[in-house]
Structure 1
Amino acid sequence: MLPVTVMLLVLLLLFVASISLLFFLPSKYLKAPLLLRRPHPPGPKGLPLIGNLHQFDPLKTHIYFFELSKNYGPLVYLKLGLVPTIVVSSPKLAKEVLKTQDQVFCSRPTFVSLQKMSYDGLNLAFAPYNECYKEMRKVCVTHLFSSKRVQSFSWIRKEEVSRMIRIISSLSSESKLVDLSALLLSLPNAIICRIGFGKNYNDDEILKSRFQGLLRETQDTSTTFFLADYFSYMGWVDKMSGASSKLEKVCKVLDEFYQELIDQHLDSYKQKSYQEQDIIDVLLQLRQEQKLPFNLTLDHIKGILFDLFVAGTDTSAATMGWAMTELMKNPHVMRKVQEEVRIMFKEQKSSNTLIQEEQLHSLTYLKAVVKETLRLHPPVPLLIPRQTMQECTLGGYQIKRGTLVYINAWATGRDPESWENPEIFMPERFIGRTVDYKGFDFELIPFGAGRRGCPGMVLGVTTIELALANLLCFFDWELPTLMKREDIDMDFAPGITILKKNALCLKATKVIGLE
């Protein structure tokens, strides 16, 4: 983050400059007829030039936006420096943005840090909407995250979940507390390392430490405030503050890591079977075959690896962590979902010692628990921001080309017109109801929708359901001694992905008769 003193000084100077400017502007500009002014949605008043930049906590932006929607309605206008911005907080308007006018709203802003780390938008998540993006999405949907490809990774998910269960069993036998937050964060890291890079995360302490360090640096840098994002002519301040040089260093280290991984695959990817291929293997094979309608470069491949870093790890961990937190706060739901998974396991048990992926389809209530968790705790509460590609009308207001667009998935999941008792964790609301998270029901959009919907959704949800099913089947969970349900905090850590701030540490008791 930019040092607070530097930030405050710059904002103060901009404010003074803007006030001075008012005295020198010709009166004709200050008294322009109202009919000539383009209407925009309601929103809080900002200061001249800096707009609303000073008004909200960047660590809790989704909550601030939600509170604004209560005062100004589901479409709120802000001015972040020189950037016109709107915030969408209702399913109806989200549908307009993500479906009806998707082609108008489907580009991305060119934020300094994300553009640099994504090789100038050669990835998927942060690329502007253009021909390159369209082709890269086809590659991801067809070759990387298709149902067939996700299924080919099932043995990896099974091994890593089995490893987690063994660790918990060992801690349980020694009557030690289980740091569930740490285990649930390690699980997707291990899976992504294996399916993405062909590396065994848990058997290589050097890789594990390096991966964790790079992941932290990537996340920190992704959320760093750059003045140039809101004042195009203020890039020099980012250089003076050290933010630009830090970004350069992080990108250099990441690039070296990606290149090292790619180099390790160059001599082996041609000899691997479909089941053995990781994502780097697939991309190198596509590059070598040259059958794509564009030139797939190493920078494209590195851009996809950046996506795996940002979107493939913390998001799954966050959902699993919040699910277990809500279950501990709602023991009647815990009992109900445990009963479902245990009955299913006993009825279908063969020689398997774990619940298998092919058994998940019958766990209706578990799936409802996952949906309810995603409703109340979307891992990315503000979907990755969009940018309008042309002038348009939304909610009766004129929206300029180049407007920054935030969709508050955290707010749509709490919309009282869509959800009864929206603040209550109640999975039953999904039983017998067709509402799903796949991008067709806009009151539940944790993975976005339309042209920018998350292509890795199936991979993420499969991991979440498999891990939770086995955690709930084979262990009873209790709070530490003297701790009550009311003591369980719901604080979250800062970042693009909303992880639980304080570790969830629980006592696990292995259920006899299910081994």
Structure 2
Amino acid sequence: MDTATSSAATVRQIADLPCPKGLPLIGNLHQLTPSKLHLILERWANELGAPYRFQIGGKPIVVWTDVELCQTLSRERPHRYRRFRVLESVLQEIGSNGLFSAEGAAWEPQRRLVMQALSIPHIKAVYPTIAGITGRLHERWRRAAANGETVEMTKDLKRYTVDVTSALAFGEDPRTIEKDSGVIQEHLALILPLVTARINAPFAYWRYVKLPRDRRADRALVEVHRYVRRMMQRARERMRDEPSDEPRHLLEAMLAMRDAPDSGITDDQVAANVLTLLLAGEDTTANSIAWALYYVATDSALQQRLADQSRAVLGSANVCPDYAQVKDLELLEAVCTEASRLRPVAAVSSFEPLQDVQLTDVHVPAGTTMFFVNRPSMLDERHFAQPQTFDPDRWLRARDAQTGAHDTRAYLQFGAGPRVCPGRHLAGVEMRLVLSMLLANFRIELAVEPESIEEITAFTMVPSAMPMRVSLRT
């Protein structure tokens, strides 16, 4: 048995942990609303302390908020721990069991491919393409400002991130920003909420009866997989007609590996990684920027400060003209980081031990589902000074200039250990580019009352809406 931390005098069993009051047979199932899951888990942690357990039927799920323990388990994946097993099963069914959920020996070769595609040199090489896509987003918002239209920021940002991810990883730009309907993002938007509903379901009901949401998502999956296979076919044709000594992007690298003798890689596995990247690129970065805009739109002084820094770097351009200048937009990314501390897009992490373990003073059998709720540690004054205050400058001050606690290990929005998110640098570039373009050229204000915007669990934690009015700066 592995011991993650020093053992206590008395070892508790999972049944000894506090548990919210439930009902016979179903446990706490009736209290779990999938769209509010992270809020329910946070509330129970506040009421019961952590760790605690809740029950789905006879199955216990253990919930922790200990960031040091989460760091330890993250470092020991995939050898001693794995993600929630049901997640892999659900993603396998929809054809998206790629790098995000891959375990064991299947993970490392996929990781190398994706890290190469999302490396700093590769992003620098395709920066003109990313800047061009950002320019098209500027044009979309300029038209909205001229016509007095309200912009649903989350939808537009997802279009943007789909275009960037596709151009960077697959050598294709679907140009969804320029279209009002019939875009791949409309289909992608249905998939992660479906995954959330299915991993939280008490049994695999969809194998026997399809609800309306299942039928809608199934139709979306058909379109998405058709889109992915078309990209793969076009990439093969370019590799045949325009051969290159080195793969030009991730998709070519994956296809070349798949075609190598005895590779053991199938077209289905390549397609799963393409879909994984589309979903990850479309969802997490877009929602992180959207939550940042929530705070910027309600703070006129901060908005002006960001506009001034953006214009100083951009000069007369609408978009940051050179990759080297992106580093000067650090306040823009700090705003997104601080927004994610208060509104974590990755609100819950999941693990299962591959062997019996002792975590603190709790015996956890192999295969036990464990959830780590990430926000409590980021709102703990032991980790961050004045934790309830939105203060992006805390991410810019030198350690010796901090006015209180600032423990960056408690910030887990990109994960930790060997499974840390390979797209974190790309996300930072997108955050800086989009916010600097927006705030150098436009003023923004929420089109609804701030308190009407709710947090929704849709695999990631997303805003219920982010409608804004944009007006041109003079």
Instruction: Select between 389-398 and 204-213 the one with higher mean Cα deviation.
Output: 204-213
TM-superposed deviation, 1:444: 0.6
**CA radius of gyration, larger in:** 1
Distance 1:87 1:192 in 2: 33
Which residue matches 2:69? Answer: 93
Choose which of 186, 193, 206 in structure 1 pairs with 2:159. 186
TM-superposed deviation, 1:449: 1.1
Q: Cα gap change, 1:210/1:183 in structure 2, threshold over 3 Å: closer, same or farther?
A: closer
TM-superposed deviation, 1:186: 1.8
Distance 2:244 2:292 in 1: 36
Choose which of 48, 52, 56 in structure 1 pairs with 2:28. 52
1:470 aligns with 2:437: yes
Choose which of 426, 438, 451 in structure 2 pairs with 1:459. 426
Choose which of 265, 279, 289 in structure 1 pairs with 2:235. 265
TM-superposed deviation, 1:326: 0.6
TM-score (structure 2 length as normaliser): 0.84
The gaps in structure 1 that reach 5 residues or longer are 1-33
Which residue matches 1:160? Answer: 133
Identity percentage of aligned residues: 19
TM-superposed deviation, 1:184: 1.9
Which residue matches 1:240? Answer: 208
TM-superposed deviation, 1:132: 1.2
TM-score (structure 1 length as normaliser): 0.78
| Aligned counterparts, 1:286-435, within 5 A | 286-290=257-261, 294-346=263-315, 352-355=317-320, 356-383=322-349, 385-433=350-398
TM-superposed deviation, 1:463: 1.0
Please say if residues 117 and 306 of structure 1, whose CA atoms lie closer than 8 Å, have aligned partners that are also in contact. no
Please say if residues 51 and 81 of structure 1, whose CA atoms lie closer than 8 Å, have aligned partners that are also in contact. yes
Distance 1:163 1:144 in 2: 23
TM-superposed deviation, 1:68: 1.4
- Three-state SS of the structure 1 residue aligned to 2:415 is coil
The gaps in structure 2 that reach 5 residues or longer are 1-9, 401-406
Aligned amino acid, residue 139 of structure 1: L
- Three-state SS of the structure 2 residue aligned to 1:85 is strand
Q: Deviations over 1:164-198 (max 9, x none)?
A: 11222333345544443432222112222333444
Aligned amino acid, residue 378 of structure 1: P
Q: Cα gap change, 1:37/1:159 in structure 2, threshold over 3 Å: closer, same or farther?
A: closer
Q: Cα gap change, 1:210/1:362 in structure 2, threshold over 3 Å: closer, same or farther?
A: closer
CA RMSD across the alignment? 3.3
Distance 1:179 1:207 in 2: 12
Q: Cα gap change, 1:467/1:213 in structure 2, threshold over 3 Å: closer, same or farther?
A: closer
- Three-state SS of the structure 2 residue aligned to 1:315 is helix
Please say if residues 11 and 363 of structure 2, whose CA atoms lie closer than 8 Å, have aligned partners that are also in contact. no
Q: Deviations over 1:6-33 (max 9, x none)?
A: xxxxxxxxxxxxxxxxxxxxxxxxxxxx
Which residue matches 1:195? Answer: 168
TM-superposed deviation, 1:310: 2.0
What number of residue pairs does the alignment pair up? 454
Distance 1:245 1:92 in 2: 38
Which residue matches 1:124? Answer: 99
- Three-state SS of the structure 1 residue aligned to 2:182 is helix
